Amino acid sequence: MTPSAPAFTLEVVADGNTILGERLTRSLRTELNAIDGVEVEFADSTTTAAAGAKGGVAADLALWVFLGTRAAAPVVIEGIRAWSERQRNRKVLLGRGDKTVEVHGNLDAAQERIIEKFFEGGDS
């Protein structure tokens, strides 16, 4: 059962390559949906499309992540890191409200603290 609001959004950074971005986004969605207590769906284009955007492809480039419990968040981050490490330079943006944080395969201690604060609702 999907909660009424996503915990956060995900966007795979593909440097303007729409086809690659869509392929990577679908791959990440499949991987994260395999995690117990996590549900990932394609975001609604009416809430994620940039102002002035045309077409429906942009809707497939963002995902909503629903967590069964708050404790699932670190497991999701570890899943994103493992997925990112499979190919160099994969990056994922997490968003919640006006906050955004980048996750990739090689996080240092400072970046891990920023991600922890993101999930705690603190400033990053």
pLDDT tens digits for range 69-97: 878 888 999 999 899 988 878 899 999 98
- Name residue 63's beta-bridge partners: 10, 42
Q: Which residue has the tokens 């995902």?
A: 63
The pLDDT confidence band at residue 19, using thresholds 50, 70 and 90, is very high
E strands, 1-124, are 8-13, 38-42, 62-67, 91-96, 99-104
pLDDT digits (tens, 9 = 90+) for 96-105: 989 999 998 8
